[in-house]
Amino acid sequence: MVKLLFVVLAVIMALALPVGAQFEEEPYPEPAPEEHFYRGRILEVDQTREEEHDYYNVIEQELLVRLTSGPYRGEEIVIINTFFEGDPVYDFLLEEGQEVIVVTMGEEGSFEQAYVQDMARDRGVYYLVGAFILGLLVVGRMKGLKTVITLGVTIILIFRGLLPLLLMGYNPILLAIGTASLAITFTLLVIGGLNVKSLVAIMGTVIGVIVAGLMAFWAGSLAQLTGFGTHEAQMLYFLDQNIDFRGLLFAGIIIGSLGAIIDIGMSVASAAAEIKQACPEIRFKELFNSSLNVGRDVMGTMANTLILAYVGAATPMLLLVMGYEIDWLKVINMDLIATEFVRGIAGSIGLIAAVPVTAALAAYFMVDHQDN
């Protein structure tokens, strides 16, 4: 029975992926061939020129930059850096010793049109990722290694599967559910093993994710969300791709709620398995109620985690609304604000739904029905 359910679940997920493809465009727009990016270090700031205007000052710096990556590593070039003084968005004062990203225009190796695109920030990100992985391995040991593997597979599924297929015009909601299902199945099988506990956690989590998607679709349709609530979505409109923006919004909600729902699904299934092992003669109703009580405790913290994650990301927007004292009726009807509300609440509803479903499935599959 368990093997049959695994096969059925795998078939459903496999069928969910290719639904809705109607376009033959390349998955990514071709990058501009005349742009080339290099890492560089500023050796000298020779001179600075200031041009005063009525409302702003233009600062111009002459930089000597040594390239530290690419085929022209070690070559030194002169770059003019121009920016607006006093504006935190455009104030780009550079100093000696800083690492920067240099962009050149034209043929590779031609530095006549070169400028500093931004500060080099990637190493800080890589160091933090390395510390995260090291912490998982030191503290979690084998479990930590499994976590690293499952996280890597999930990232591959998103960046090599979900995102390219979205750009190709696949149905975003079905694609997100299929990708989430694959990520859930692989993650829980690796962490929990091939057993009833993992099966229950997978089924409960998948149902919770589907509920989150359905609630997002229902509330988004009722609120007439457009999918253009963010600047990134508005910029996507100008790509030469056939993208369902409302579907993309709902797909994002599904993926965003995935982590919390996996957590609560596995917590409830693990608790049920431990209770069953400690009390082999336990009946369906008793195991269901015990698992549900555990799920209720976890649900409170997970719902806070999910909501606070969205609030944290929207903090600048919330401060902007409060700072300008915008009327609540206007605020709640803004596409951007309504989108964030739907995003957080729909994910939380999916999380809530996963608790009783997982508890019921655990009680059904783990209890010996001959004694009930």
For residue 360, give the CATH number of its domain: 1.20.1640
Digit-coded pLDDT (tens) for 264-322: 889 899 999 988 888 888 888 888 998 899 888 888 777 777 777 777 777 887 788 78
β-pair partners for 105: 35
Integer Cα distance of 310 and 296 in angstroms: 22
Integer Cα distance of 200 and 338 in angstroms: 34
| 203 in any annotated domain | yes
Whether residue 8 is predicted with pLDDT greater than 60 in this model: the reply is: no
pLDDT at 5: 46
pLDDT at 106: 74
- What's the pTM? 0.73
| Domain's final residue, options 65, 98, 120 | 120
Would you state the structure tokens that stand for residue 195, as one six-digit string?
């057993």
Whether residue 120 is predicted with pLDDT greater than 50 in this model: the reply is: yes
Would you state the structure tokens that stand for residue 251, as one six-digit string?
């797909």
Mean pLDDT, all residues of the chain: 80
Of all residues in the chain, the percent with pLDDT exceeding 90 is 12
| 58 in any annotated domain | yes
Average pLDDT value for residue range 324-334: 80
Integer Cα distance of 239 and 235 in angstroms: 7
Question: Is the sign of the CA dihedral 73, 74, 80, 81 positive or negative?
Answer: positive
3-state secondary structure of 200: helix
Burial status of residue 327 (CB atoms within 10 A of its CB: 0-12, 13-18, 19 or more): exposed
Average pLDDT value for residue range 122-132: 90
Average pLDDT value for residue range 9-21: 45
Least confident range of 82-86, 126-130, 246-250, 328-332: 82-86
Number of domains in the chain: 2
pLDDT at 89: 63
pLDDT at 20: 41
Integer Cα distance of 184 and 161 in angstroms: 15
Going by pLDDT thresholds of 50, 70 and 90, the confidence category of residue 335 is: confident
pLDDT at 202: 92
Shared domain for 39 and 88, answered yes or no, is yes
Shared domain for 232 and 317, answered yes or no, is yes
Domain that holds residue 331: 161-371
| 72 in any annotated domain | yes
Shared domain for 104 and 197, answered yes or no, is no
Shared domain for 165 and 309, answered yes or no, is yes
pLDDT at 87: 63
Cβ–Cβ < 8 Å for 156, 234: no
Residue ranges in the chain assigned as alpha helix (H): 2-16, 122-140, 142-156, 163-167, 172-192, 196-222, 231-236, 245-278, 284-313, 315-323, 328-332, 335-366
pLDDT at 203: 92
Shared domain for 116 and 216, answered yes or no, is no
